[in-house]
Structure 1
Amino acid sequence: MEACQTLNSDTGSGLKHYPLTPLRLVRGLACLLVYLSTAFMFLVYFSPVFAVFLRLFSVHYSRKASSFLFGLWLALWPFLFEKINRTKVIFSGETVPERERVLVIANHRTEVDWMYLWDLALRKGCLGCIKYVLKSSLMKLPVFGWGFHVFEFISVERRWEVDETIMRKMLSTFTNPLDPLWLAVFPEGTDFTEQKCIKSQLFAAENGLPELNNVLLPKTRGFYACVEILRGSLDAVYDVTIAYKNRCPTFTDNVFGVEPSEVHVHVRRIPLKDIPASESECNTWLLDAFQLKDQLLSDFIAQGHFPNQGTEGDLSTLGCLVNCTAVIAITSIFTYLSFFSSLWFKVYIVLSCAYLACATAFNFRPSPLVEYVTRKKSS
Structure 2
Amino acid sequence: MLLSLVVHTYSLRYWLPAAVMLGTAPAYLLSWSVWRLLSTVLPSRLYHTVDDRVYSVYQSMVLFFFENYTGVEIVIYGDIPKKKENVVYVSNHQSTADWIIADMLAIRQNALGHVRYVLKDGLKWLPLYGWYFSQHGGVYVKRSANFDEKAMKKKLSSQTKLGTPMYLVIFPEGTRYNPELQKIINDSQDFAAKEGLAVLKHVLTPRMKASHVAIETMKEHLDAVYDITVAYEGTLTADGQRHPAPTMPEFLCQECPRVHIHFSRLNMREIPAEPVFFRRWLHERFEIKDKLLTTFYDPEDPEKKGRFPGESQTSNLSLTKTLPSLLILGGLTLPMLFTESGRKLYLNTWLYGTLIGWVWVSVSP
Q: What one-letter code is carried by the residue in structure 1 that aligns with 2:58? A: W
2:53 is aligned to 68
TM-score, scaled relative to structure 2: 0.85
Structure 2 residue matching 1:175: 3-state secondary structure: helix
1:261 is aligned to 257
2:315 is aligned to 313
1:361 is aligned to 362
Q: What one-letter code is carried by the residue in structure 1 that aligns with 2:128? A: V
Structure 1 residue aligned with 2:332, among 330, 333, 348? 330
Structure 1 residue matching 2:322: 3-state secondary structure: helix
2:79 is aligned to 94
Does residue 39 (structure 1) correspond to residue 25 (structure 2)? The answer is: yes
Structure 2 residue matching 1:360: 3-state secondary structure: helix
Question: For residues 62 and 192 of structure 1, what CA distance do their matches in structure 2 show?
Answer: 37
Question: For residues 251 and 129 of structure 1, what CA distance do their matches in structure 2 show?
Answer: 22
Does residue 276 (structure 1) correspond to residue 272 (structure 2)? The answer is: yes
Structure 2 residue matching 1:211: 3-state secondary structure: coil
Identity of aligned residues (%): 27
2:240 is aligned to none
Tell me the CA shift for residue 296 of structure 1: 0.7
Instruction: Provide closer, same or farther for how the CA distance between residues 255 and 348 of structure 1 changes in structure 2, counting only shifts above 3 A.
Output: closer
Instruction: Provide closer, same or farther for how the CA distance between residues 359 and 334 of structure 1 changes in structure 2, counting only shifts above 3 A.
Output: farther
1:166 is aligned to 151
Instruction: Provide closer, same or farther for how the CA distance between residues 110 and 20 of structure 1 changes in structure 2, counting only shifts above 3 A.
Output: farther
Tell me the CA shift for residue 22 of structure 1: 2.3
Structure 2 residue matching 1:75: 3-state secondary structure: helix
Structure 2 residue matching 1:105: 3-state secondary structure: strand
Greater Cα shift, 266-275 or 175-184: 175-184
Does residue 249 (structure 1) correspond to residue 246 (structure 2)? The answer is: yes
Question: For residues 46 and 359 of structure 1, what CA distance do their matches in structure 2 show?
Answer: 19
Instruction: Provide closer, same or farther for how the CA distance between residues 309 and 34 of structure 1 changes in structure 2, counting only shifts above 3 A.
Output: farther
Structure 2 residue matching 1:249: 3-state secondary structure: coil
Does residue 293 (structure 1) correspond to residue 294 (structure 2)? The answer is: no
Tell me the CA shift for residue 357 of structure 1: 4.1
Structure 2 residue matching 1:183: 3-state secondary structure: strand
Judge conservation of contact 2:128–2:353 (CA < 8 Å) in 1.
Answer: no
Structure 2 residue aligned with 1:211, among 196, 199, 212? 199
Q: What value does the CA root-mean-square deviation take over the aligned residues?
A: 2.7
Instruction: Provide closer, same or farther for how the CA distance between residues 204 and 331 of structure 1 changes in structure 2, counting only shifts above 3 A.
Output: same
1:50 is aligned to 35
Judge conservation of contact 1:94–1:311 (CA < 8 Å) in 2.
Answer: no
2:44 is aligned to 59
1:201 is aligned to 189
Per-residue CA distance 1:114-171 (angstroms, 9 max, x = gap): 1221111111111122111111111111222232232221111213444212212222
Judge conservation of contact 2:337–2:343 (CA < 8 Å) in 1.
Answer: no
Question: For residues 25 and 345 of structure 2, what CA distance do their matches in structure 1 show?
Answer: 21
Does residue 24 (structure 1) correspond to residue 24 (structure 2)? The answer is: no
Per-residue CA distance 1:156-194 (angstroms, 9 max, x = gap): 121344421221222212213732211011111111133
1:16 is aligned to none
1:136 is aligned to 121
Tell me the CA shift for residue 351 of structure 1: 6.4
Q: What one-letter code is carried by the residue in structure 2 that aligns with 1:273? A: R
TM-score, scaled relative to structure 1: 0.82
Greater relative contact order (Cα < 8 A, sep 6+)? 1
Question: For residues 170 and 114 of structure 2, what CA distance do their matches in structure 1 show?
Answer: 14
Structure 1 residue matching 2:148: 3-state secondary structure: helix
Greater Cα shift, 189-198 or 295-304: 189-198
Tell me the CA shift for residue 255 of structure 1: 3.1
Judge conservation of contact 2:82–2:109 (CA < 8 Å) in 1.
Answer: yes
Instruction: Provide closer, same or farther for how the CA distance between residues 288 and 321 of structure 1 changes in structure 2, counting only shifts above 3 A.
Output: same
Instruction: Provide closer, same or farther for how the CA distance between residues 363 and 152 of structure 1 changes in structure 2, counting only shifts above 3 A.
Output: farther
Tell me the CA shift for residue 39 of structure 1: 1.4
Per-residue CA distance 1:60-97 (angstroms, 9 max, x = gap): 22111111111111112221122211211211123223
Question: Structure 2 stretches of 5 or more lacking a match?
Answer: 236-244, 300-304
Q: What one-letter code is carried by the residue in structure 1 that aligns with 2:25? A: A
